[in-house]
Structure 1
């Protein structure tokens, strides 16, 4: 299955050139509700001291997860007008489609949450009930490099629950542990390089050859200004990523939606 990443034109170009994709730490996300479903509240009305210390303990766990975790956010849909407006510079960027079955995304040995378990769960209300599962093994806070199926419920609470207002994104995540990456970029999750983006680190993971399957140009790029611009875009994409299909976006005549147009066909 192909999953998609919405990007500015400049960021998309770097991915095509370097054949790598970036993982971000949750503490840098624009959504302040990240990890807010992670730990159910424990109410001790008759013991305020306990409640204070419990709250500090949970805060510390959340911050450890946020600092030591890298998340790649993908989506199932390459033609979502809202996504193009929000993440692709008002339709001036591009969308890149990646084979989600690659080992870097799907392996249970190197991913805290592999892509096949990474569908985001959207709810109107924050889940506050105690966890139903009772794992026998422990889950190291901020230090779990491999997937532990018996802890799936906890991992979903940590990284996959989001408010319903985000449901239009149809998000699928790959979650990797980044513990120790400040000292060594070669960790159990993979080999990364670091890029500074407006004062925050973005950890770039190298993709295997042929992982990028599709590229879409936004309808407000210069691709559609002339046949020459179109040919140049196709040549640029296939030059960096041979065998990749190249599409453009156009407005549907019959609905409020986008449709794709093949640019790599005569």
Structure 2
């Protein structure tokens, strides 16, 4: 069993604990504008460079990515991704086909370690490399094409060395399989997903024949192109931040129903690290009384 971790805000972590669902996002909406630019240092004819850019733009729209990490106690990650130490880190059991099967994923969790580098290696545009890129694209669409796994990893998993502190592991999932119907996808428990949306009001779309519940928009900016898969992930560990107030929350006791270990991180006064303290159901009862 391999446990990998995801950092959450307070509200996001509570929702993740309740649903046990994982969210994948299209890379276009990541916070790093350099995402999927590992091949941009290309050498070759202008026409092939234009084809390269078009294929990468298409891939951005065809896949969604899950970002995990190997560390639950990184102070920078807590500050950047977990409500400034008020949120959660959830440790998921990543075994099983949902994250490991090539049938469902372009890049599986066991080959998803991000590569950090200070430079971009030139990418030679020639018939062989263009055919390999096209194979990655075809495979992402669900066709039985031979995908160059090394090229896919270079494209999706390469980031600048300044991000090395994240110790990131990614899963690149095929959002839609063009060889299957939407109904077939949604009937597969390892493919079905939902999105966080709100109904639009008639005043938001004037001059349109309005039908309540038919027009929707993302719930908020954080939910744009976020795909929440219905598959329930086994949760093995939960960490509360050094500024967390979750122990006083009425939902705190229900965390132990997940049969996982729950920890509180406290600041170690003699070093720059955290002290990990395991919490029990008795702590939940004590805070309830």
Whole-angstrom distance in 1 between the partners of 2:73 and 2:145: 34
1:142 is displaced (CA, Å) by 6.1
Whole-angstrom distance in 1 between the partners of 2:144 and 2:83: 35
The CA deviation string for residues 11-42 of structure 1, in whole angstroms up to 9 with x for no partner, is: 11111111201000001111111111136512
CA contact (8 A) 2:100 2:109 kept: yes
Whole-angstrom distance in 1 between the partners of 2:136 and 2:72: 36
**Structure 1, 189-198 or 14-23: larger mean CA deviation:** 189-198
Whole-angstrom distance in 1 between the partners of 2:89 and 2:59: 29
1:143 is displaced (CA, Å) by 4.7
Structure 1, unaligned stretches of length 5 or more?
44-49
CA contact (8 A) 1:112 1:147 kept: no
1:234 is displaced (CA, Å) by 4.2
Residue aligning to 1:151? 148
User: Which one of 241, 245, 265 corresponds to residue 261 of structure 2?
Assistant: 245
Structure 2, unaligned stretches of length 5 or more?
197-217, 283-289
Whole-angstrom distance in 2 between the partners of 1:166 and 1:29: 13
Q: Secondary structure at the match of 2:225?
A: strand
1:58 is displaced (CA, Å) by 1.6
Residues 1:141 and 2:137 aligned together: yes
Q: Secondary structure at the match of 2:107?
A: coil
Residue aligning to 2:119? 125
Residue aligning to 1:111? 105
Residue aligning to 1:46? none
Whole-angstrom distance in 2 between the partners of 1:101 and 1:4: 13
Residues 1:258 and 2:278 aligned together: no
Whole-angstrom distance in 1 between the partners of 2:144 and 2:112: 11
* TM-score normalised to structure 1 length: 0.83
* TM-score normalised to structure 2 length: 0.77
Whole-angstrom distance in 2 between the partners of 1:8 and 1:142: 36
CA contact (8 A) 1:111 1:146 kept: no
Residues 1:86 and 2:65 aligned together: no
Q: Secondary structure at the match of 1:139?
A: helix
The CA deviation string for residues 110-156 of structure 1, in whole angstroms up to 9 with x for no partner, is: 1110100000000011122449xx69986151652499886121111
**Structure 1, 9-18 or 73-82: larger mean CA deviation:** 9-18
Q: Secondary structure at the match of 1:35?
A: coil
Residue aligning to 2:235? 212
The CA deviation string for residues 33-60 of structure 1, in whole angstroms up to 9 with x for no partner, is: 11111365124xxxxxx41x33321221
Residue aligning to 1:190? 191
1:180 is displaced (CA, Å) by 5.8
Q: Secondary structure at the match of 1:127?
A: coil
Label 1:149 to 1:252 Cα distance change in 2 as closer, same or farther (>3 A): farther
Runs ≥4 residues deviating over 3 A: 134-138, 145-150
Larger fraction in helix? 2
CA contact (8 A) 1:28 1:200 kept: yes
CA contact (8 A) 2:106 2:139 kept: no
Whole-angstrom distance in 1 between the partners of 2:13 and 2:144: 29
Label 1:72 to 1:202 Cα distance change in 2 as closer, same or farther (>3 A): same
Alignment length (residue pairs): 249
User: Which one of 46, 71, 75 corresponds to residue 69 of structure 2?
Assistant: 75
1:108 is displaced (CA, Å) by 2.2
**Structure 1, 150-159 or 105-114: larger mean CA deviation:** 150-159
